[in-house]
Amino acid sequence: MTLDRLKPGNSAQVTDIEADHILRRRMMELGVTPGTKVSVVRVAPMGDPIEIKVRGYRLSLRKADAASISCTNRGE
């Protein structure tokens, strides 16, 4: 499953970032690393961007960027 498929209120654990080197490095600098818990706070009305909570702060991601983040749904 990828992060862009999670519904608001659900949590997941990041398992991998399948993106080019630049995006992967940027996500890791922002704290989105394998093993990290993330939760979807809300999604914009048109579906883009997606607001997530990671490591105690909120981060907005483009849907295409969120689609490159693999995760395991925790169903919370």
Provide the terminal-to-terminal Cα distance of the chain, rounded to the nearest Å: 15
Global pTM reads 0.85
DSSP 68: T
Condensed to tens digits (0 to 9), the pLDDT of residues 36-76 reads 999 999 999 988 899 999 999 999 999 999 999 999 976 55
Query: Which amino acid is located at 45 in the chain?
Result: P
| Domain count within the chain | 1
How many C-beta atoms surround the C-beta of residue 12 within 10 A? 24
- CATH for 20: 2.30.30.90
Residue 38: the pLDDT is: 94
Residue-range definition of the domain harbouring residue 60: 3-73
* pLDDT tens string 22-41: 999 999 999 999 999 999 99
27: left (phi over 0), alpha (psi -120 to 50) or beta: alpha
Any alpha helices (H) in the chain, and if so which ranges? Answer: 21-29, 63-66
